[in-house]
Amino acid sequence: MKNLLLILFTFIELNAQVDQLMIQANEYYQDENFEQAVKTYKDIINRGYESQVLYYNLGNAYYQNGQIGYAILYYEKGLKIAPNDEDLNYNLAIVNARTVDRIKDVPKFFLTEWWEYLITSVSIDFWSVIVLMFFVIFLTSLAIYFTGKTGRAQRFGFLTGSAALAILLFFIIVLVSAVNREASTDYGVLVEKEITVKQSPDEKSSDAFVIHEGLKFEVEDNVNNWVRIRLSDGKVGWIPNYSIEII
């Protein structure tokens, strides 16, 4: 009981500290002290707290401080939590318009594109809630079927349960796909002003192409202090790991 109370008081104290730091960071932002606002927002993150609002504010502070790579990074982090957040999507579009690189995506089969949109349109937590909801509906329908005292009640339980099971299986597939996609694919953002991409993980390697601050790409591999990236147009190459941040 004492341990439980200690955990509760620690949680309350942590939330109070986070609230105070958020107020302080917002004041720095309003005073146009963007560098200090960034430091304070990141102090909140270092305490183990995250939210789309925090990442939105931090992205704004970085943008106002002229660091568009980090602004894009934290807008993207916020969208991992709330993919449909209008403010995050709007600000991200504005900052992306200021980036130098204009990469054309490799065309995808429409069903593949539709499926990727579906599993990334909302957060994994949302899909988890949907799966749990239909699981409860299925169990309730099963109980009605086995305990129903009339044929009508049993038919209702059977039909509802069958429909709920089919929908449940579909959303389980969606959830598993979303989890696997997030676990198996890392995306990064270039935070340096300009980097020459190499053909192999070696400074003496031949140059492949040049990319600029704010570009988002897939991170496929890492060797020593180098990471292998893939652009949305299919180009691949190696860049130093200090030049990127993982979303």
Q: What tokens does 159 get?
A: 């039909």
Whether the Cβ atoms of residue 99 and residue 88 lie closer than 8 Å to each other? no
pLDDT for the residue 44: 94
Q: What is the per-residue burial (b if ≥16 Cβ within 10 Å, else e) of 189-200?
A: bbbeeebebbee
List of the chain residues with pLDDT < 70: 1-15
In this structure, are residues 22 and 44 in contact, taking their beta carbons and an 8 Å threshold?
Answer: yes
Cβ proximity of 222 and 228 under 8 Å: yes
pLDDT (0 to 100) of residue 14: 56
CA nearest neighbour of 38 among 19, 17, 21: 21
Q: What is the pLDDT of residue 154?
A: 92
Please tell me the distance from the alpha carbon of residue 91 to that of residue 233, in angstroms, as a whole number. 24
> What pLDDT sits at residue 11?
47
CA distance 168 to 204: 54
Q: Got the DSSP string for 161-228?
A: HHHHHHHHHHHHHHHHHHHHHHHH-EEEEE-SSEEEEESSSSTTSPEEEEEETT-EEEEEEEETTEEE
Instruction: With beta carbons less than 8 A apart as the criterion, state whether 51 and 19 touch.
Output: no
pLDDT at 161: 94
Question: What's the pLDDT at 107?
Answer: 76
Predicted model pTM: 0.78
User: Quick one: pLDDT at residue 8?
Assistant: 46
